[in-house]
A and B are shown apart, each in its own frame.
Chain A
Amino acid sequence: MGVVTPLLFVGLGGVAGALARHLLGERVDARTGDTLAVNVLGSLALGAVLAAPVGEGAALALGTGFCGAFTTFSTFAFETVRLFETGERRRALASAAVNLGGALAAVWVGSTVAAAVW
């Protein structure tokens, strides 16, 4: 596939993932957990993509590109630090735990469902 084509697949998937995250963030209040929502939904989708019999290009565009860009670690880390330093320490610890537990469970559910369907 060369070097340029995979980068294009990942990049174009990244465009869709970033736009979807941005549009969802505009509709969901940050206090209600838009970052948690994208991280769990994106992990569910990535688990399914990795377990489904898709080609290399689709795996790069959908998995590495779309799911990778739709979910975000930097925004999660920033929001967790902000919660902690504004005195909401329990919410900060809960955010750290729920993002992790939710994402790991979502990967498992996504891959289990995809493996059962195909």
Chain B
Amino acid sequence: MAEDRAPTRLEPLALVAVGGFAGAALRYAVALALPGAFPWGTLAANGLGSLALGVLLYERRFADAVSAETRLVVGTGFLSSFTTYSAFAAETTALAGTGGPTLAAANVAANYAVGIAGVLCGRRVARWVS
């Protein structure tokens, strides 16, 4: 019995792992491509990732044509690792020290705006393709 069940348990973990590797590595590459005092890389990753996750999760409500395996590797693995809350929080704290409270507040407002707008745009795209 245990041998029969092992693959069904391991396969989701493998899918999440593959997505997690790609998502974290791409987030790092985006941050390298957008240097500067303001954390543009995290902002770009959070906006783009929220848009894509909005498409993926609203597609489930409208059409549900995407397989569970694709959702695991793209949603739980890739997009959830590509976007990040901890780096956003740490960079906001650092900005408050180097750039002042106004720049830190601007970073919070910008990340929340692109995250929520991203999900809403993703919902539109999902409805359009469904």
Residues of A within 8 A of B (CB): 6-8, 10-19, 21-22, 25, 38-39, 42-43, 45-47, 50, 60, 64-65, 67-78, 80-81, 96, 99-100, 103-104, 106-108, 111
A94 smallest CB distance to B (angstroms): 14
In the assembly, what is the distance between CA of A13 and CA of B84, in Å? 13
Give the complex CA separation of A19 and B17 in angstroms.
6
Q: Name the residue on B nearest A35 (C-beta).
A: B85
Residue of A16, A39, A73, A111 with most partner-chain B CB within 10 A: A73
B89 within 8 Å of A by Cβ? yes
Which residues of the other chain, B, contact A108 by a CB distance below 8 angstroms?
Answer: 93
Contact residues, B1-40 vs A (CB, 8 A): 12-13, 16-17, 19-25, 27-29, 31
Which residues of chain A are within 8 angstroms of B87 by Cβ–Cβ distance?
Answer: 46, 64, 67-68, 71
User: Which residues of B come within 8 Å of A, CB atoms?
Assistant: 12-13, 16-17, 19-25, 27-29, 31, 45-46, 49-50, 52-54, 57, 76-77, 79-90, 92-93, 108, 111-112, 115-116, 118-120, 123
Q: When chains A and B are docked, how far (Å) is the Cα of A103 from the Cα of B79?
A: 20
In chain A, what residue has the closest Cβ to B80?
Answer: A72
The interface residues of chain B, by DSSP majority, are classed as helix
Write out the residue numbers on chain B whose beta carbons fall within 8 Å of the beta carbon of A80.
Answer: 116
The answer on a CB contact under 8 Å between A72 and B81 is yes
Give A17 to B22 CA distance when docked, in angstroms: 12
Residues of B within 8 A of A47 (CB): 90, 93
Determine whether the beta carbon of A77 is less than 8 Å from that of B21.
Answer: no
Q: Cα distance A47–B12 when bound, in Å?
A: 30
With a cutoff of 8 Å between Cβ atoms, the chain B residues found around residue A39 in the complex are 85-86, 89
Q: Most B CB atoms within 10 A — which of A8, A78, A81?
A: A78
Contacts of A11 in B (CB 8 A): 21-22, 24-25
B16 and A19 contact, CB distance less than 8 A? yes
Q: Point out the residues of chain B lying under 8 angstroms from A60, CB to CB.
A: 28
Docked pose: A55 CA to B111 CA in angstroms: 29
Give complex CA distance A33, B74 in Å.
Answer: 22
Can you identify 13 A-B contacts, CB atoms within 8 angstroms? A8-B25, A11-B24, A15-B20, A21-B76, A22-B12, A22-B13, A50-B90, A60-B28, A68-B24, A68-B81, A74-B79, A75-B53, A77-B53
